[in-house]
Amino acid sequence: MTQQVIRCQDEESGLRGVIAIDDTTLGPGLGGVRWLAYPSEQAAEDEARRLAHAMTLKNACADLPYGGAKSVLLRDDRRGADDAAGRRRAQLRAFGRCVQRLGGTYIPGVDMGTSVEDLAVIGSVADEVSCQQLDPSPSTALGVFAGIEAALIGTGRRVAGARVVVQGVGHVGADLARRLAAGGADVTVADVDADRASSVAGEIGGRAVQPGAALTAACDVLAPCATAKVVDAATVGSLRCSILAGGANDVLATADMATALAARGVLYIPDFVINAGGVICIHAVRADWGEDKLEESLLAIGDRVARITKEADRTGRTPLAVAEEMAAHRLGRPVGAVG
């Protein structure tokens, strides 16, 4: 149950948005600002609530002093492009005023549709804002790499020689593809931006395939680093990977997909565990950590993945169920109360 939902509206700039604060047991709600078109305000609110809850799980599992929150701003595609940049800035400032009125309960960051520059605009009116100077994506990629390495080792393989398909080679995916290739993996990439895919493939000595082929490619690891809800009832039967582990949020369209994947022998590493490098990086900046401490904490994602997969093996539960239990412990909730 979401703790608080705040509607953000500003007539002058046309801002319409919602902030969902899921849980502040461990600290202020930390979570990104998503800027997308939605069919309705209710659809935006539902998305914000769901994503805010995932942030509670992510911050709890990563042992960070933050709760979970998310905001969604409704992009209005019906309005013309006239002065789009000016209007965007005005909306972001209006949103910043809304964040400021919450007195630090919500700390916004970058998410789909927003950039470091956008967060700097929000930060010009709100005191508590993350990602104003630093893109956390390289940290996210390093954490995902550590998690993939742990999952491979846990199943008797290594990064060197593993066949990995990276779906989406944007900020996180490109960096991950480079790390995997440097570690000796046989990397295939796919992106709806074909030029980007072939440029990354060329750079790392890998292959580029059509976006539609990524999900069904035979591989050791499929690393979704693009969109949400990659695995649903329609796609789960066609996956040919043995490990599903990537940077994307919200990989499973519904939680029961975790059981469907396990039944097909696919080891699913929960997204909120493996892609926590970004929030760890945000905390490192806020807590003034040095590079070494940040790196150590990012690599610890690998240890966490190893612990979760071992416990899942031992108990016959899914890694998702084990990770949710880990979050419940940290939040002081009964097991099963946070899924």
Ligand X SMILES: NC(=O)c1ccc[n+]([C@@H]2O[C@H](COP(=O)([O-])OP(=O)(O)OC[C@H]3O[C@@H](n4cnc5c(N)ncnc54)[C@H](O)[C@@H]3O)[C@@H](O)[C@H]2O)c1
Say whether 70 is catalytic: yes
Q: CB nearest ligand X: which residue?
A: 170
* Contact predicate 23/102, CB 8 Å: no
The single residue of 58, 70, 229, 310 carrying the catalytic annotation is 70
Give the Cα separation of 107 and 24 in Å (integer): 11
* Contact predicate 148/245, CB 8 Å: yes
Shortest spacing between CB 193 and ligand X, in angstroms:
4
Which one, of 213, 173, 321, 304, lies nearest residue 257 by Cα? Answer: 321
| Residue 171, C-beta contacts closer than 8 angstroms, at least 6 positions apart | 135, 137, 140, 141
Give the Cα separation of 62 and 279 in Å (integer): 8
Give the Cα separation of 251 and 227 in Å (integer): 8
Cβ proximity to ligand X, 64 vs 94, nearer residue:
64
Shortest spacing between CB 121 and ligand X, in angstroms:
18
Give the Cα separation of 11 and 329 in Å (integer): 43
Determine what percent of the chain falls in helix, strand and coil, rounding each to the nearest 5.
Answer: 45, 20, 35
| Residue 222, C-beta contacts closer than 8 angstroms, at least 6 positions apart | 164, 165, 167, 214, 215, 239, 241, 243, 244, 245, 246
Cβ proximity to ligand X, 10 vs 63, nearer residue:
63
* Contact predicate 329/315, CB 8 Å: no
Cβ proximity to ligand X, 94 vs 148, nearer residue:
148
Cβ proximity to ligand X, 71 vs 167, nearer residue:
167
Give the Cα separation of 224 and 218 in Å (integer): 14
What is the contact surface with ligand X in residues (CB under 6 A)?
112, 136-137, 140, 167-173, 190-193, 196, 211, 225-228, 247-249, 275, 278
Shortest spacing between CB 315 and ligand X, in angstroms:
28
Question: Which residue type does 309 have?
Answer: T
| Residue 60, C-beta contacts closer than 8 angstroms, at least 6 positions apart | 26, 68, 326, 327, 330, 331, 338
Shortest spacing between CB 68 and ligand X, in angstroms:
13
* Contact predicate 34/72, CB 8 Å: yes
Give the Cα separation of 143 and 297 in Å (integer): 9
Cβ proximity to ligand X, 172 vs 323, nearer residue:
172
Shortest spacing between CB 54 and ligand X, in angstroms:
10
Shortest spacing between CB 53 and ligand X, in angstroms:
15
Cβ proximity to ligand X, 98 vs 110, nearer residue:
110
Shortest spacing between CB 200 and ligand X, in angstroms:
9
Cβ proximity to ligand X, 16 vs 70, nearer residue:
70
Q: Is residue 241 classed as helix, strand or coil in its secondary structure?
A: strand
Please identify every residue annotated as catalytic: 70
